Structure 1
Amino acid sequence: MGINLNPFTWWNGATIGTWFGLRGMSRIGEDGLGNVYYQGGKDGAGNPRRWVIYNGSNDASRVPPEWFSWLHHHVDAAPAEVLPPPRPWQKPAKPNMTGTAEAYRPSGSLDRGGQRQAATGDYEAWSPDA
């Protein structure tokens, strides 16, 4: 397709209505995946409204844990200001890989040939008559 459908389709990113709605809102920060976070206005309970504009597909698993806590009002300020720096042993957040080539496929799965290792003999099948 030669037409840019991004302004009209929510699954390709923010629609034109979302961009108009973000006018006057404060840009709080950006995560390592390129998602941008905004805050402004109040919800019905008086809490500040918060948004994420995804860089790429709209998939909630693409929000890192520290920004998830900010979006859900577990922390008040941007994660870089209130959370401790990541420890050296911590891995970066990774989106859900289900349905992609990087999805987890155990050794007995059909995608890896469907051949399971033989049982070791310590397994006894359940039967209703036993």
Structure 2
Amino acid sequence: MSTITRTLTNYWRIGIKEYFHQMQTIGDTKAGTLVGVDRLGNKYFENGEELPLRTRWVDYKNSDYDASHIEPGWHAWLAYTVDKAPSQDPSLAYTKRVWGDIDVKTIPNYTLTRGAYKPYSTTKSKITMWEPTAIERK
């Protein structure tokens, strides 16, 4: 959370609609310049006046967002791995591969759902469970 003066300054910069949108999504107010938009509609912002390592952020298009909704080039920019955004550096921009997805949607992250990947072993176990054999009483 931020100070009241910072919150009021950002409220004055971004307006009432964006203020409530940010409070619902990220829980804080931030004002910055739009750096770019990816193919999924996510908006990426930057503000050098923020605290260190909090100067870049993403505004997801959907409210049900996931980390897999960020493209690799934009993820590298958000994590401060590269200095230029994919909108400024063509080597980081998204290019469709032959083996890639057919449509724009990415493969969602199924962790902690029924669709999560669960590996299984096809080899025989070296340890077998003990099964007791009891003789019936007479």
Deviation, 1:83, is: 4.3
Deviation, 1:34, is: 1.2
8 A contact 1:40–1:50 mirrored in 2: yes
Q: Which residue of 2 aligns with 1:13?
A: 25
Select the residue among 53, 76, 84 that pairs with 1:77.
84
Sequence identity, in percent? 26
Q: Which residue of 1 aligns with 2:10?
A: none
Residues 8 and 75 of structure 1: CA distance in aligned 2, closer, same or farther (over 3 Å) = closer
Q: Deviations over 1:69-99 (max 9, x none)?
A: 0001111111143242525335254331446
Residues 43 and 14 of structure 1: CA distance in aligned 2, closer, same or farther (over 3 Å) = closer
What is the RMSD computed on CA atoms of the aligned residues? 3.9
8 A contact 2:74–2:86 mirrored in 1: yes
Q: Which residue of 2 aligns with 1:39?
A: 46
Greater strand share, structure number: 1
Instruction: Give the number of aligned pairs.
Output: 103
What does 1:89-108 align with in structure 2 at a 5 Å threshold? 89=98, 91=100, 93-98=106-111, 103=115
Which whole-Å CA distance do the structure 1 matches of 2:51 and 2:25 have between them?
26
Unaligned 5+ runs, structure 1: 1-5, 109-118
Which whole-Å CA distance do the structure 2 matches of 1:63 and 1:124 have between them?
41
Residues 9 and 76 of structure 1: CA distance in aligned 2, closer, same or farther (over 3 Å) = closer
TM-score under structure 1 normalisation? 0.55
TM-score under structure 2 normalisation? 0.52
